[in-house]
Structure 1
Amino acid sequence: MSDGLSKEERDAVKQRAKELRAQEKAGKNRAAGEKSVREAIAKLEAGDREIGEGFYTVVSEVAPHLVPKTYYGMPGFANDEGKIVVFLQPAGKFSTRYSTIGFEDRAHLDDGDMWPTAFAVPAWTEGVGTRLTELVRAATR
């Protein structure tokens, strides 16, 4: 049985509360979102930072209508309602062996009776960039 949230999970919840307060003050400001996401990526360890930079570039280019926004301290992109569509969970955030790119239910990835919404990314490669491009196009159609 679990004793509750881990230290990393508690830190993420605190970060989310801080983000919500900041977003309330700034509104749906693209510049503020870009700044917070770029700062979050800059703080990442080298491997996660490369993934974060690739993630940011691909999503920005493929879906420029999405607004950069941090999500529990993680880089993400939201729709015009401010709801996260796609995000990056860096490996270092929860001490996992790979980063994860995840899509929330607002993403249109539906494919039959069951489909993936999260993807393990151990390192940024050209193939990862190509696959993420396809996924973001599908998610935002």
Structure 2
Amino acid sequence: MPPGQGNVGCTVTGDRRGGSEEGRPAAHAAGKGERLHRVILDAVPELTPRLWYGMPGYARGSGPVLCFFRADERFMTLGLTDKAHFEREPNQADQLMPSAWFFSHLDEPTERRVAAIVRHATAAHRR
């Protein structure tokens, strides 16, 4: 794996010796995080992973972080920063634009949606 594209932010603290009940949820969260990390980089390979407020974030080169994620025991969060590409849906009456998504596991349809969100959010951004 190239430098800077390791398991950024996927390190888990706690007991991971396998025999501890306490270590299993943390290890499960780390596994989900590693898979989400791979989905993001497969969607946009030129993204540069780096820590952003203690979470894995992704930027184009040395630019601002555009998207990030968090993997906990129960849920994962995919979020966009204010530097990501946003646009309202066509014919949308309100001003709301989604910037975060919660999900409990990564299945194929969710992976495809995450990849599409990341591609769109990182396509163009404000500097």
**What is the TM-score normalised by the length of structure 2?**
0.69
- Secondary structure class of the residue paired with 1:109: coil
From the superposition, tell whether residues 117 and 73 of structure 1 become closer, same or farther in structure 2 (CA, over 3 Å): same
Establish whether residue 34 from structure 1 lines up as the match of residue 15 from structure 2. no
From the superposition, tell whether residues 80 and 40 of structure 1 become closer, same or farther in structure 2 (CA, over 3 Å): closer
- Secondary structure class of the residue paired with 1:100: strand
Percent of paired sites with the same residue: 29
Query: 1:103: which partner in 2?
Result: 80
Establish whether residue 91 from structure 1 lines up as the match of residue 72 from structure 2. yes
Unaligned 5+ residue runs, structure 2?
14-25, 90-94
How many residues are treated as equivalent by the alignment? 105
Query: 1:124: which partner in 2?
Result: 106
- 1:14-66 residue CA offsets vs partner (Å, 9 max, x unmatched): xxxxxxxxxxxxxxxx72x324xx15314272332232122211211111221
Q: After TM superposition, give the deviation of residue 79 of structure 1 in Å.
A: 2.2
CA contact (8 A) 1:78 1:84 kept: yes
Distance 2:60 2:78 in 1: 17
Equivalent residues in 2 for 1:17-32, closer than 5 Å: 31=3
Q: After TM superposition, give the deviation of residue 114 of structure 1 in Å.
A: 1.6
Q: After TM superposition, give the deviation of residue 82 of structure 1 in Å.
A: 3.4
CA contact (8 A) 1:74 1:89 kept: yes
Unaligned 5+ residue runs, structure 1?
1-29
Report the structure, 1 or 2, having the larger helix content.
1
| RMSD, aligned CA | 2.2
One of 88, 94, 115 as aligned partner of 1:133? 115
Query: 1:54: which partner in 2?
Result: 35
One of 47, 59, 66 as aligned partner of 2:47? 66
- Secondary structure class of the residue paired with 1:107: coil
- 1:63-115 residue CA offsets vs partner (Å, 9 max, x unmatched): 122101111222121123331111112225xxxx4221111122213224221
From the superposition, tell whether residues 39 and 118 of structure 1 become closer, same or farther in structure 2 (CA, over 3 Å): closer
Report the structure, 1 or 2, having the larger strand content.
2
Greater than 6 Å deviation, 4+ residue runs: none
CA contact (8 A) 1:54 1:129 kept: no
